[in-house]
Amino acid sequence: MNTPSSPKAATLHDVARAAGVSLVTASRALGNPGIVSEKTRARVQQAVEATGYIPNLLAGGLKSKRSRMVAGVVPALAVSQFLPTVQALTAALAEQGYQLLLGQTFYDVRREEEVLNAMISRQPDGIVMMGLVQSARARERLAKSGIPVVETWDFSDRPLDMVIGFSHLKVGSALAGYFLSKGIERVGMATGNDHRARQRREGFLAAWGRDVPTVTVPSPGSLELGRQALGQLLAQQSDLQAVVCSSDMLAHGILVEAQARGLRVPTDLAVSGFGNADFAAHLLPALTTVHVDGAEIGRQAAALILQRCHGQHPEPSAFDIGFELIERASTAPR
Amino acid sequence: MNTPSSPKAATLHDVARAAGVSLVTASRALGNPGIVSEKTRARVQQAVEATGYIPNLLAGGLKSKRSRMVAGVVPALAVSQFLPTVQALTAALAEQGYQLLLGQTFYDVRREEEVLNAMISRQPDGIVMMGLVQSARARERLAKSGIPVVETWDFSDRPLDMVIGFSHLKVGSALAGYFLSKGIERVGMATGNDHRARQRREGFLAAWGRDVPTVTVPSPGSLELGRQALGQLLAQQSDLQAVVCSSDMLAHGILVEAQARGLRVPTDLAVSGFGNADFAAHLLPALTTVHVDGAEIGRQAAALILQRCHGQHPEPSAFDIGFELIERASTAPR
DNA sequence: CTGTTAGCGCCTTCAC
DNA sequence: GTGAAGGCGCTAACAG
């Protein structure tokens, strides 16, 4: 090593001594500069530079009860649907000096509990969940932990605390209404096996009025699974007119497999996705899908948590961010 | 609220009292069960259940100097290349009771410094960077912080501490060699404007022997940018035989745009990507690309950090994880 | 405006 | 095997 690798990291104590002030004054000069004289502040600043001081927020948080960390929990990071939310959340928090603690549940209730326990142990100032908290035990624990919780990407009558999302049932019925209005009669579904995808399927079926051929794939879907799904669907019903997918990646797979089989989209087969991934608008044909403003979910979640940290109690505590069915060439003949 | 929202979260002190033992004994029963009598351990366990105690790791870390957190820093979460690494890293750490603190630099040196400072303030037991640390100041600070650092997805003669990656120069020259061996003479490049993509381009040009038409796009690329890039490249040179892309998404865009223009791939135009995204093998035609085991990078990074936490000093500290050129239909006329 | 006094919740070191 | 001190680095109260 080139530098004398951390003989001892400088503490606020060292800074105070170097600046010739007391510990508290140094603390205030950094954390609450307004109430310290110009001179002192400058000297403390200088001492910080000189000593290379980096504050230990963990220690500070112990006393102040604010860790300046927020937990973010996703099913799995590779679920691309959530990426804009997590990215925006992380960015919005960083801007206010908060950092994100990332956890993954892998769609497993036991891991969800473990992850949430691990998070609570670190005293986050807030928790943002992608999806609703599944585990009853975890819900209870969270409720009495007093930590602000934002559940996202879903909706519930009885949220744990705050919720930002939309009705997946309504998404399903909107899709059903859309295809019905197109005069389409024979549709199949390729759908992930997670809670939200199942909700959308239920909503679809309720509005559609009868059951439809369905292939269920593990969440998160993939292009490959989409390709396979089309094969299986056509095996069940060879004259399908449309396939409704629970993600854009699955829908993309359907498009590719349709092309491989010489089926023209949308003439022979209409295809819809979900999520409005950035590639959806630029495929051939462009993909009809359901848009949800994932980044906005992240920003709002950050805002809600930060409000709570500042002692406010936002009303209402449930935000329907809505969705939008975007019609593109994959379902729009000519 | 349903439950009396945290009158006061139980502390180890409460547990000890409920179990009728001293604070230290309770601490040991949880953290070092081996050295406590069977009976005491059971009683402490019971007290934990009764009080709903969740340990405060922040407080524990203050004394023990181990936060059981590891920082992970990516350019942006949406850069899909890094997702397998971050996902595997997070999972591997969680398995050992460590959590990931996520940070984003947005390819900006100043933000990189800020993020790293924010991380250091939280006393992580290790830092995993996607890419090399760019900022000289940050390098210095990290070096003398004594925190184990793993730089990934790149290679360097003078790593900050540990590095797991591969030579992007070699990737570039491997691609050049491949296209040369195919007898292809007129190639263009669509390349991201990040450090690693530029290195691959340099490596390509060095082996290729002369400059080639190039379109530079903002990182991370997208399907849309790929489509645009093909248009621009063809405007520069209309008889291109191949396009080399710095990511699979860009390459995918080239494929789509080629199809839109009635160019057959690979007959009229060969296309290669980078990253071996999960869709690459299943496109039509399947995409020739460069595979890098991103998940393995994450697992190894976790292992290195954890070894350091356990006081070991792994040798060597530079790991070349290699890469593999995967030939598929997009460059292989049958 | 500045300093003194107490801890935050836990873990380490030392005694017993 | 257990317990009694002391302190990790910092910040909320109070005082001056």
Tell me: pLDDT of A6 over 50.
no
Contact A161, A140 (CB under 8 A): no
Q: What is the pLDDT of residue A211?
A: 97
Label residue A290 left, alpha or beta by phi (over 0 means left) and psi (-120 to 50 means alpha): beta
Q: Which of A9, A80, A282 lies at the smallest CB-CB distance from B256? A: A282
Instruction: Tell me if B58 and A61 make a contact (CB, 8 A cut-off).
Output: yes
**Percent above pLDDT 70 for chain A:** 98
- Helix, strand, or coil here: A73? strand
Instruction: Tell me if B62 and A62 make a contact (CB, 8 A cut-off).
Output: yes
Q: What is the pLDDT of residue B157?
A: 86
Q: What are the chain B neighbours of A97 within 8 Å (beta carbons)?
A: 118
Instruction: Tell me if A104 and B87 make a contact (CB, 8 A cut-off).
Output: yes
**Percent above pLDDT 90 for chain A:** 86
Q: Which bases on strand D have an atom closer than 7 Å to a protein beta carbon?
A: 1-13
Q: Write the pLDDT tens digit of every residue in A135-169.
A: 999 999 999 888 999 999 999 888 999 999 999 99
Preferred mutation among A2, A6, A51, A54 to probe B, highest tally of B CBs within 10 A: A54
Query: Containing H/E element for A130?
Result: strand A126-130
Decide if B136 touches A, using CB distance below 8 A.
no
Tell me: pLDDT of A2 over 60.
no
Q: Write the pLDDT tens digit of every residue in A220-257.
A: 899 999 999 999 999 999 999 999 999 999 999 999 99
Q: What is the pLDDT of residue A7?
A: 60
Q: What is the pLDDT of residue B334?
A: 63
A62 touches strand D (CB under 7 A): yes
Q: Write the pLDDT tens digit of every residue in B188-219.
A: 999 999 999 999 999 999 999 999 999 999 98
Q: What are the chain A neighbours of B259 within 8 Å (beta carbons)?
A: 284
Q: What secondary structure does DSSP assign to B308-331, as a single string? A: HHTT---S-SEEE---EEE--TTT
| Beta strand segments in B80-205, E | 99-104, 126-130, 149-152, 162-165, 187-192
Instruction: Calculate how close chain B gets to A12, using CA atoms only, in Å.
Output: 12
Smallest CA-to-CA distance from B240 within B197, B203, B201, B270 is with: B270
Instruction: Tell me if B102 and A99 make a contact (CB, 8 A cut-off).
Output: yes
Range with the lowest mean pLDDT among A13-17, A99-103, A128-132?
A13-17
Contact A189, A216 (CB under 8 A): no
Q: Which of A54, A61, A84 lies at the smallest CB-CB distance from B78? A: A84
Confidence of residue B2 (pLDDT cuts 50, 70, 90): very low
Tell me: pLDDT of A91 over 80.
yes
Closest-lying nucleotide for A56 based on CA to C1' = D9
Tell me: pLDDT of A4 over 70.
no
